[in-house]
Structure 1
Amino acid sequence: MENLFNEYLNSMILSASGWRMIFVQDGDENNPKPEIGLEKTAISAFIGKTFADYINNKIDNLSVQTNHPPIIAVGMDTRPTGPAIADCILKVLLNEGIQVHFTGVCAAPEIMTYARSIDGFVYISASHNPIGHNGIKFGLNDGGVIPGQVASKLAHHFRTLCNIDHPETVAKSLMDDNKADIAAIYAKQKILKEEALQSYRDFTMQVITGETTKNKQIKAFEPIANGIKKFKFGIVADLNGSARTLSIDETFFEQQGLNFYPINNIAGKIVHAIIPEPENLVHCAAHMNLLQKQGKSDAILGYMPDCDGDRGNVVYWDSKTKTAKVLKAQEVFALSVLAELAYSTWKFENKKSSVTNTTKINSPKLAIAVNGPTSMRIDEIAKAFNTYVGRAEVGEANVVNRARELRKEGYEVRILGEGSNGGNITHPAAVRDPINTLFALIKLLCIRDTAKNTDKPFKKGLFHLWCKKSNQESSYKDDFTLTDIIETLPKYITTGVSEKRAILHIKTTNHSTLKSNFQKVFENEWSRKKTEIANKYGFYTYTAMTSNGTQVLENSTDFSVSGKGGLKIIFNDKAGLPIAFMWMRGSGTEPVFRILCDVKKNANKDTSKIEKELLAWETEMLEKADI
């Protein structure tokens, strides 16, 4: 049994984004059964003990300021193995003197919002991984997961706890003798779930409007509400049995005047693959097409979340082709960034126009935080709004912490996220949320130009502001649709993260060695082929960028310093302007090595072909380096 325990333990991926493994007892990642077996029960107990030691300040060089006794929320998504894992963790936390609030099934943004009012949370989920997987996310009360450095120390402590004789026996002792207490925890679950839902509703309105007080939120939401009433928008939701089936989605959208059209909205009934990428968004698109045929012309936006409900990509009604289309992840993020930067600009201009001429108001110092493989289309959008782009390594925690660093430097960072995965994080939230993504698009559609030839001064709406600042004012029209907005986005071809050609299986476990080998291969190829590359693709020079956590090194001369972090090779045109990049990094949550390319569209070249050939070249060089 100990050999099996160690085998399972060694299969775990412990990253800042979460701890994951196949928890279902038989090891079949597609098995929907709830049993986890004796060894994985023990692993679950040690997970609970790890977080309890952290909260109770029993881990060297880690200190947490909490209530006494500390209060921790425990929640889960709808995976079948969730209840068994939760039961273990609840028992251990109780035995360690921690007051537990069990919210049952809840979306990740929901429990992270609720935890802001207590000391922290343990969330049981494997995000977008197949149904037999499960995992853990830890956080305190700042609205997000714990930072990477803390996560690394917890992972070390966890492995130390597990490195004992008879781990199953020790784990059992950690969970013993609290039958009465655990029954009381389960008895309060419905009440605590309602508290979590209410806190999430309130916080979501704060995020959408950017205002902290109720009165200001109501005033800020007025132009959005007026637009919803005038244009009659509806939301199509393929909830796919996720945690969002039991969250605020339906009631919140309907309370704001939006019709809500859900499918697959029974909790735990996961009917297709979980990852919200184009191949799985087709179900939402099909339902949107059906609704339109039935006369539901308001069904113009749709989404599908992953199982924990923090990531959700978008479907929209193309007003020109009259069909539902799936937005790619990078396009979703680009539209969200455009919307929120335009909203910040619009709010500032309204504020400036409302004060006397003698009062000076400084324009905000805007920034966004993104991960390494986010498309360069974001840089073009940011430039139009005079916004600084701060980059970080892949990982939501890294991007959130980069945004916090930028705020300390005096920047206003309203939006951040990982373009490669879609969705966005809108401050003060510290986690992706499809509701916030959809409301970014709704703001773009609703906050329009004010009426001309009235006593009130004329004010441009969000899309009009974007068109003006991006030198595309000729593209603006008063009766625009989302299709018109999409057509004004910077044009790039970017590899999708879930495409088979973007996922490699590398033998070299030391990624510093791999990247050192890759550097030798790349530099040799560049030296031999640079004239051909310049003529064929328009790439004249390159720069290397490495990223580890929030630290990014530009013009890196040593690819190996990126280690398990990100490596990006940026290709520049004859004028020295970036027009493409190739990127690579080993996944922190799956046993794969991810690659991606991003290429700016060129009217004189086949950009799609360039992206394919660039990715194939990157793959070929990595295969040579993987020795």
Structure 2
Amino acid sequence: MKKTISGIRGIFGEDLNLKDVLEFCNNFSSLVKSQKCVIGKDTRPSGFMIKDTASAALMKNGIDVFNLGTVPTPVVFREARKYGAGIVVSSSHNPIEWNGMKFIIKGRGINEKELPQIIEKQEITKSKIGNEQDISSSYVEDAKKIIGNLENQPEIVVDIGGGAAKGFAPDLLESIGCKVLTLNENLEGCSRGPDPTADNLSELVSASSNKEIGFAFDLDGDRLVVVRNGKKQTPDVTLGLGVAKSLELGYKKFVLSIDTSVSVEKFIKERGGTVQRTKVGEANVIEQMLESNAQAGGEGSSGGFILPEFNYCREGILTSGLISSMLGTKKFNEILNFMESYFQIRDKTAIDSQFHDKVIDDVHSKLSKEYSEVNTLDGVKGIIDEDSWVLIRKSNTEDIIRVSAESNDEEKCRQIVKDTIELVKQSYDKIR
């Protein structure tokens, strides 16, 4: 089981069971000062049981529960702004047998200070039993107000991936004037896995080859991958396109995760914007956004564009509409061409979690001798030159160490990743 600010996740029935759900939601109740909490789930088969158990734990502690049913993560985050707290029953891009919970306070994910209060046992003094009621969301209408209406009626293919974006992403795109073809609406018979960043998206690539663009979502609808001209784009392109739209709207103050493409940062700075970097993870990015009053940003690894005025989370669905509004414009082609001149590779190697810290420390020692600049904000990032870098960090969700690299030379980027993974494996073999 993984317990991080990204959520509590595990294989349901093995290392995550209903007793755990009761315990964590009981503890979370101590943070819910509004005595109101919205709850929604993605399409995983175990979602119903976890959602009902979570709701029962909250109501036992006097909290009124507002049930959204099966909805994307951004919908729960948006409604949590109104009610004060929220729970998303999901494990995002993890395999179907996994599930978990994301906890929301005042419209944002929990932070490092709040996480221990959810993990450690809390005694709750209750005064009454809470009630439960079903609610709907105005998310699509609210998002449409941000995007506006499109006059050119672009033809778009949307790959739902059997997830919760069904009924939201297609509806939003159609409402702003797009012509939409939908793939993989239901989990049963879905042609791909739950994580569009890891899948080759062959069906979407084929279906969108004669359309303007293709969009693919993960199971809970916060991750978005772009397919353009028969090619699956990197997650950083999703973020870069969202950033380009932000610049078009006049925003200048951005926060990016440490693993986001240097091309996005350069694009912002060349147009008069400023950039702050944070640890990987949307909660870290959002916390810095709130502290610095930033206007937009996100993390490249998950294709996660964040627009604080609308939502304090990765916004795959809103971003699909924002990107659609730029189709056929100079701005769209400008950012796409600029970013395609850089190459990002994100890989991973299996490392037992108990050895993560020791491996990272050993790699840090070796990279400090090799590179003139090493950043330890999150894991170890070696700056090779102004266009090339490598980042080694432990996963918050799996028993792996992630290796990310970028360069404006594709072969150089591949060699950096190959050499670094070998370095990580050598450290692991030495330590265990």
What is the distance in 2 between the residues matched to 1:100 and 1:116?
A: 14
**Pairing partner for 1:43 from 13, 20, 28:** 20
- Match 1:389 to one of 275, 279, 290: 275
Per-residue displacement from partner, 1:548-584 (whole Å, max 9, x unpaired)?
xxxxxxxxxxxxxxxxx32201023xxxxx2211101
Map 1:153-302 → 2, pairs under 5 A: 153-157=117-121, 185=132, 188-189=133-134, 192=135, 194=136, 196=137, 198=138, 200-208=139-147, 221=148, 225=149, 228-229=150-151, 231-246=152-167, 248-266=168-186, 270-277=190-197, 279-289=199-209, 292=210, 299-302=211-214
Deviations 1:40-80 (A, max 9, x none): 1211211221112332xxxxxxxx4x2xxx11111111100
User: Which residue matches 1:520?
Assistant: 365
- SS of residue paired to 2:221: coil
CA contact (8 A) 1:597 1:614 kept: yes
2: CA distance, partners of 1:523 / 1:401: 29
Q: Within 2, Cα distance between the matches of 1:508 and 1:86?
A: 28
User: TM-score scaled to structure 2, two decimals?
Assistant: 0.91
- Measured against aligned partners, the alpha-carbon deviations of 1:289-342 in whole angstroms (never above 9, x if no partner) come to 4xx3xxxxxx312211111111111112x3xxxxx2211112222222223213
Report SS of the residue matched to 1:54. Answer: coil
Match of 1:309 in 2: 221
For 1:370-519, list aligned pairs within 5 A: 370-407=256-293, 413-428=294-309, 429-445=311-327, 463=331, 486-489=336-339, 491-496=341-346, 502-507=347-352, 509=354, 511-519=356-364
User: Does the 8 A contact of 2:73 with 2:220 survive in 1?
Assistant: yes
Q: Structure 2 vs 1, CA of residues 523 and 89 (structure 1 numbering), >3 Å: closer, same or farther? A: closer
The amino acid that maps onto 1:300 is E
Give the secondary structure class of the aligned counterpart of 2:403. Answer: strand
Q: Distance in 2 between matches of 1:388 and 1:115?
A: 29
Of 332, 336, 341, the residue aligned with 2:238 is: 332
Q: Work out whether residues 359 and 427 of structure 2, in 8 Å CA contact, stay in contact via their aligned partners in 1.
A: yes
Mapped contact 1:584–1:593 kept (Cα < 8 A): yes
Opposite residue 343 of structure 2, the aligned amino acid is I
What's the offset of the Cα at 1:135?
Answer: 0.3
Shift of 1:515: 3.2
User: Secondary structure in 2 aligned to 1:97?
Assistant: coil
1:62-81 correspondence runs (5 A): 64=33, 66=34, 70-81=35-46
In 1, the alpha carbon distance for the partners of 2:111 and 2:29 equals 17
CA distance in structure 2 between the aligned counterparts of 1:261 and 1:618, rounded to whole angstroms: 41
The separation in 2 between residues aligned to 1:608 and 1:488, in whole angstroms, is 15
Question: Which of these residues, 96, 106, 109, is aligned with residue 131 of structure 1?
Answer: 96
Aligned 8 A contact 1:521 1:624 in 2: no
Aligned twin of 2:390: 582
Aligned partners of 2:256 and 2:276 also within 8 Å: yes
One of 399, 404, 417 as aligned partner of 1:596: 404
Please, which of 3, 21, 36 is the counterpart of residue 14 of structure 1? 3
Q: Equivalent residue for 1:535?
A: none
Aligned partners of 1:301 and 1:315 also within 8 Å = yes
CA–CA separation in structure 1 for the residues paired with 2:338 and 2:422: 35
For the Cα contact (< 8 Å) 1:581–1:597, is it kept in 2?
yes
- Counterpart Cα distance in 1 of 2:116 and 2:110: 10
Q: Relative to structure 1, is the Cα distance of residues 256 and 205 closer, same or farther in structure 2, using a 3 angstrom cutoff?
A: closer
Change (3 A) 1:523 1:118: closer
Which of 363, 368, 372 is equivalent to 1:542?
A: 372
**Amino acid paired to 1:203:** D
CA-CA distance at 1:367 after TM superposition: 2.0
- 1:452 is matched with which residue? none
1:612 to 404, 414, 417: 414
CA offsets 1:443-495 (integer angstroms, 9 cap, x no match)? 3336x6xxxxxxxxxxxxx62xxxxxxxxxxxxxxxxxx55652243621111
Q: Give how far 1:514 is off.
A: 2.7
Deviations 1:232-285 (A, max 9, x none): 202211112211114x32332222211121122136664421001263422212
Letter in 2 for 1:393: K
Using a 3 Å threshold, how does the CA distance of structure 1 residues 268 and 91 change in structure 2: closer, same or farther?
Answer: farther
Residue identity opposite 1:150 in structure 2: E
Distance, in Å, in 2 between the alignment partners of 1:436 and 1:108 is 12
Secondary structure, aligned partner of 1:261: strand
Q: Render the CA deviation track for 1:181-216: whole Å, top value 9, x for unaligned.
A: 8xx84xx43xx1x2x2x2x124313543xxxxxxxx
2:113 aligned counterpart, secondary structure = helix
Change (3 A) 1:610 1:598: same
Question: SS of the counterpart of 1:240?
Answer: coil
Whose Rg is larger?
A: 1
Partner SS for 1:403: helix
> Matched residue of 2:31: which SS?
helix
Aligned to 1:355: none
CA distance in 1, matches of 2:10, 2:281: 18
Q: Does the aligned pair in 2 maintain the 1:508–1:514 contact within 8 Å?
A: no
The alpha-carbon deviation at position 510 of structure 1 amounts to 5.2
Q: Do the aligned partners of 1:367 and 1:387 also contact (CA within 8 Å) in 2?
A: yes
Q: Does the 8 Å CA contact 1:521/1:625 hold for their aligned counterparts? A: no
Which consecutive unaligned segments of at least 5 residues does structure 1 have? Answer: 1-11, 28-35, 56-63, 162-173, 209-220, 293-298, 319-323, 346-365, 408-412, 449-461, 464-481, 497-501, 527-540, 548-564, 573-577, 602-606
Q: Which amino acid aligns with 2:4?
A: S
Give 1:623 deviation, angstroms. 2.6
| Alpha-carbon contact 1:240-1:272 (below 8 Å) kept | yes
TM (norm. structure 1) is 0.64
> Aligned-pair RMSD on alpha carbons?
2.6
Matches within 5 A, 1:91-130: 91-130=56-95
C-alpha deviation, 1:544, in angstroms: 0.9
The secondary structure found in structure 2 opposite 1:417 is strand
Aligned to 1:568: 381
Alpha-carbon deviation of 1:507? 4.5
Provide closer, same or farther for how the CA distance between residues 417 and 71 of structure 1 changes in structure 2, counting only shifts above 3 A: same
Asked if residue 53 in structure 1 is aligned to residue 25 in structure 2, the reply is no
Aligned partners of 1:121 and 1:140 also within 8 Å: yes
Cα distance change, pair 271–568 in 1 and its aligned pair in 2 (3 A) = same
Name the aligned partner's letter for residue 593 of structure 1: I
Q: Sort the Cα spacing of 1:241 and 1:596 in 2 relative to 1 into closer, same or farther, 3 A.
A: same
Please state how far the C-alpha of 1:101 moved relative to its aligned partner.
Answer: 0.9
Question: Could you tell me how far apart the structure 1 residues matched to 2:29 and 2:265 are?
Answer: 42
Question: Which residue number in structure 2 is paired with residue 604 of structure 1?
Answer: none
Distance across 2 between alignment mates of 1:613 and 1:514: 21
Cα 1:88–1:503 change in 2 (3 A) is same
